[in-house]
Structure 1
Amino acid sequence: MGRNPVSMLLSGARREYMLQVVRRCRVLELAVLWTLLACGTAPVLAQQKPKIAASSLTLPVFNPLVWNIMKARGFDAKHGFELEAKPYPSISAFYAAFATGETDTLIGGPTILQKLYQEGVPLRIFGTAFTLADLLIFAKDANIKSLADLKGKQLAADMGGSQFQVIKMYANAKGIELGKDITVVNANFAVARAQLEADRVEAALVIEPLASIILRQNPSWKVIFNGAQGWKEITGQDGWEIVPAIRADAIARVPGAPKMLLAALQDVANVILHETDAADKIAADTVKLPPGILKAAVESKRLNMIVEPAWEPAMRKSIWDMMERAVQAGFYQKLPDDKIIYAP
């Protein structure tokens, strides 16, 4: 029996209607899906890694190498932030950028950071970094064997640096007055070396990597003072040439920044101390040091990077002791308050 044409027409209309409903549902589903995806991107964007800007240097020294290794190995991303290293051509510009807030963090001399803090820079020291082992005084005369032997003679040193402050603190503890017992000729590390080479002074204060370069080129020169040994002699504990600090406003923006940076710095120290060939290559490629110089500094233990939290009692004491001695030596009138050292 044939189907009624009217029924067939109605069935076709129903099918078409149902197809339209299905199409509309699919369009609606897609619209909902896109909306959900769009909503879902907001948290993703919000979770982008925070950027932390660091003062660095264009000079051939080890300070910028820390940031170069951190970036090359991706330790910043590993620990949840994006490092932006900003290189500066001088030490003064390096510190000024941090003081004005152009950068968030740096690795600097603890007693220089003490000065900045007392001048109103809202900084927090959150760890340790390089020991004083890379601070050396060289002499050419074999009869000069210690700082005491320089009495009545001339020492070339950068009087504006934290390294000179360490030398003066040591000298004070030994009853030697720099500037009176020993004449100090103000000179940066490279000029100090040149002054000694030209016999214009009897000794020169330098740090790594210049120390390793000097020993490679002038093996007859003698080290008459090692910062780490000297500091331990008068204090019984380690001292620090440079330590990491971060601005308080950066911590307010990124509360986990001190611990993130500390973990990344510990990874960098591991590369320097245990993957020295790889670190040496990064130094040659980025800081343009002669190949083998970093390796020589590490193997001789003149370059020793120990990264520990500054808030741990022993580390806090060692940093605070340096600040106390800076006051005793007359560099500053009083100690900073205890907020200068970060506490979680």
Structure 2
Amino acid sequence: MTKLTRRSFAASAAALAAGAAIPVRAQDKPVIKVSSLTLPVFNPLVWNVMKARGFDAKHGFTLDIHPYPSIAAFYAGFATGETDVLIGGPTIFVKLAQQGVPVRIIGSGFTLADLVIFAKDPKIKSLADLKGKQLAIDMGGSQYQVVKIYCAAKGIDLGKDITVVNANFAVARAQLEAGRVDAALVIEPLASIITKQHADWHSIFNGAEGWKEITGEAGWEIVPAMRADSIKRVPKAPQMLLAALQDTAAEFENNTAAADKIANETLKLPPGILTAAVESKRLQMIVKPAWDPAVKKSITDMMERAVKAGFYDKMPDGAIIYAP
């Protein structure tokens, strides 16, 4: 052994003895990239709470949040493969699948309980009372599809019997405030904000109640989906993500004050809004695997009804519902 080699060996041995020379790194956790929104809705709050509470690390992955300023960009990020995961409307995933996006629904998420239609006129008590009147609603969203399917089941032609004014949630609320429409559709957290600011407004339709009335199930407002190529890259990603989502749902329910604080700090929601949404039972996050027979049946039923209503030409391949 040469003098130089002996010195190098001795230095390395001394460093190892001190525990500082060549650190032993744990295997890097897989990164799961998720589409989020910069809008004050509960979709980004799911990821914010998950990250703040460290549920991603707990279940063996690193959450990488990609915020988007609009719904269109939000879906586009997932469609192009910029992100691995998106939480969105189950019926909208039919459209993505038909466009060739390798979407796989991996579980359940928020029920339709957070979909609410408000009216100011006390004489308007149901959607049937809106005949001949105007409803502000986002026609590009899955919420519109749910309401139209419900109306059709009740013999109401949404768009003919009820005039539709295309408006996103914030604009719909403003239209009702200004008296330009007779009712407006919103989702949480705007629904809880409205109940605090407008005591004279009342709900004439709740998505979960309406969907259960015609199907026997509460239905799903949004569900988590992952790209098939992302699952191929990280085969256990669906199970890891679902476990973290279940912890996040439990945080909303059992540690609401802490989640409310995160909502205020990250989304600038007024204090108490998340708490109000949870306590009102409008915010119901129920996370189960998509391959659970009951969950698979309820999600498939929603997609089938959207196809039957004419929103899409045909059902996607059965692989859209992921199974390990």
**1:230 matched to 2:210:** yes
Q: Which amino acid aligns with 2:223?
A: V
- 2:113 and 2:218 in contact (8 A); partners too: no
- Which residue number corresponds to residue 220 of structure 1? 200
**1:181 matched to 2:183:** no
Deviation at 1:30, TM superposition (A): 6.9
Alignment of 1:81-92 (within 5 A): 81-92=61-72
Q: Which amino acid aligns with 1:51?
A: V
Give the Cα separation in 2 of the matches to 1:27 and 1:304: 62
Structure number, greater radius of gyration: 1
Give the Cα separation in 2 of the matches to 1:76 and 1:309: 17
Q: 1:207 aligns with which of 187, 207, 217?
A: 187
Deviation at 1:199, TM superposition (A): 1.0
> Which 5+ residue runs of structure 1 have no aligned equivalent?
1-19
Kindly provide the CA deviation profile for residues 50-70 of structure 1, in whole angstroms up to 9, marking residues without a partner as x: 111100000011000000001
Deviation at 1:336, TM superposition (A): 0.7
- Which residue number corresponds to residue 141 of structure 1? 121
- Which residue number corresponds to residue 111 of structure 2? 131
Deviation at 1:34, TM superposition (A): 8.9
Q: Which amino acid aligns with 1:197?
A: E
How many residues in Structure 1 have an aligned counterpart in Structure 2?
A: 320
**1:161 matched to 2:125:** no
Q: Which amino acid aligns with 2:195?
A: L
- 2:289 and 2:295 in contact (8 A); partners too: yes
Give the Cα separation in 1 of the matches to 2:270 and 2:209: 27
Q: 1:50 aligns with which of 5, 30, 38?
A: 30
Q: 1:129 to 1:25 in 2, by over 3 A?
A: same
Give the Cα separation in 1 of the matches to 2:61 and 2:288: 19
Q: Which has the higher helix share?
A: 1
1:242 match: secondary structure: strand
Q: 1:230 to 1:31 in 2, by over 3 A?
A: same
Give the Cα separation in 1 of the matches to 2:303 and 2:245: 23
Q: 2:266 aligns with which of 253, 276, 286?
A: 286
Deviation at 1:320, TM superposition (A): 0.2
- Which residue number corresponds to residue 99 of structure 1? 79
- Aligned-residue Cα RMSD (Å) equals 2.2
Deviation at 1:237, TM superposition (A): 1.2
Give the Cα separation in 1 of the matches to 2:258 and 2:81: 33
Percentage of identical aligned residues: 72
> Which 5+ residue runs of structure 2 have no aligned equivalent?
none
Give the Cα separation in 1 of the matches to 2:285 and 2:182: 30
Alignment of 1:1-344 (within 5 A): 44=25, 47-344=27-324
Deviation at 1:178, TM superposition (A): 0.6
Deviation at 1:238, TM superposition (A): 2.2
